[in-house]
Amino acid sequence: MFERLWAYIRSWFKTTAESAMDPEIEIQSAIDEARRRDQDLRNQAAKVIAHKTTLESQIDRAASDVGEARELAKQALLRAEEAKKASDQPAVTKWTQAAQSLAMKLQASENNVASLKEQYEFAESQAEQAKEAVQTNAMNLQELSARRMEMLGSLEQAKMQETVNSAVEAMSRGVTDDMPSLDQVENKIEQRKAEAMARAELHEATPEGAEAELRKAINMTEADAKLDELRAELGLQS
């Protein structure tokens, strides 16, 4: 029971941590880790290729040793033969032993060349595999970078949509319970207009309203008479 409870707690914390982490940070972390691994792979591949190059140099030197030992052994044999013709036994012994020593060195050099060539074939195969691994990983890194740009674009779209959703929700909350609806506001305006017109009608119905209307009519009549007078002075027809 305790183990199941502990597993549940760990799962809950993991889920909570994953949901709390910024997706943009997660994407960048994945890219950084991929680049680190790519650099490690390149370093290892460089060591493999460098080992192959080193073997090439060793094979060249070993082949040179073979050629030199072979030539010296031949020269020792020729001198031993010359000493034999001259009945110079000490010289025969000397040059025969030298030829034997050089033959042993030649054999060792040839064995060394053969061993180095076997190593070189294996190193060459490793180098080709390392190059292919680097190329494949580089392509994967480029694909991951492209996916990063795509995911960042999707993330920005998600953020924009969340912002729009929040704004719509805020507007919805604003016109529900706490604030009056547009219909309520329009009704209040219409009510105020109706009250204003009613007060105007009531004012006209009072003696003060009638007097004001009469004064207005007199003023308009006097104004029209003054205009007729001005037109007569100007010789204009009314």
Predicted local distance difference test score (pLDDT) of residue 15: 54
Confidence of residue 170 (pLDDT cuts 50, 70, 90): low
CB-CB contact of 227 with 237 (8 Å): no
- The larger pLDDT score, comparing residue 48 to residue 172, is at 48
Say yes or no to pLDDT of 100 above 70. Answer: yes
Q: How far apart (Å, rounded) are the C-alpha atoms in residues 238 and 225?
A: 11
Share of the chain above pLDDT 90, in %: 6
- Once rounded to an integer, what is the mean pLDDT over residues 147-172? 72
Predicted local distance difference test score (pLDDT) of residue 199: 72
Q: How far apart (Å, rounded) are the C-alpha atoms in residues 102 and 105?
A: 5
Q: How far apart (Å, rounded) are the C-alpha atoms in residues 172 and 130?
A: 61
Residue 161 identity: Q
State pLDDT tens for residues 102-111: 889 889 888 9
Predicted local distance difference test score (pLDDT) of residue 10: 57
- At CB < 8 A and 24+ separation, what contacts does 91-100 make? 99/73
Confidence of residue 3 (pLDDT cuts 50, 70, 90): low
Token output for 14: 């993991």
Q: How far apart (Å, rounded) are the C-alpha atoms in residues 100 and 73?
A: 8
Token output for 229: 């007078």
In Å, the largest CA–CA distance within the chain is 171
CB-CB contact of 128 with 52 (8 Å): no
Q: Give the pTM.
A: 0.45
Predicted local distance difference test score (pLDDT) of residue 186: 77
> Mind listing the domains of the chain with CATH numbers?
25-153 (1.10.287), 182-234 (no CATH)
Q: Please, where are the H alpha helices in the chain? A: 2-20, 23-85, 89-174, 182-205, 207-234
Predicted local distance difference test score (pLDDT) of residue 90: 92
Residue 138 identity: A
- From the list 137, 126, 136, the residue with the least C-alpha distance to 38 is 137
State pLDDT tens for residues 101-152: 988 988 988 898 999 888 888 888 888 888 888 888 778 777 777 777 777 6
Token output for 224: 């029209």
Q: How far apart (Å, rounded) are the C-alpha atoms in residues 51 and 56?
A: 9
State pLDDT tens for residues 42-78: 888 888 888 888 888 888 988 898 899 889 989 989 9
- Once rounded to an integer, what is the mean pLDDT over residues 227-234? 76
- Once rounded to an integer, what is the mean pLDDT over residues 172-180? 56
- Once rounded to an integer, what is the mean pLDDT over residues 157-184? 66
Q: How far apart (Å, rounded) are the C-alpha atoms in residues 52 and 62?
A: 15
- Collapsing DSSP to helix, strand or coil, 4 comes out as helix
- Once rounded to an integer, what is the mean pLDDT over residues 190-196? 80
Predicted local distance difference test score (pLDDT) of residue 17: 47
Report DSSP state, residue 235. Answer: T
Q: How far apart (Å, rounded) are the C-alpha atoms in residues 152 and 221?
A: 79
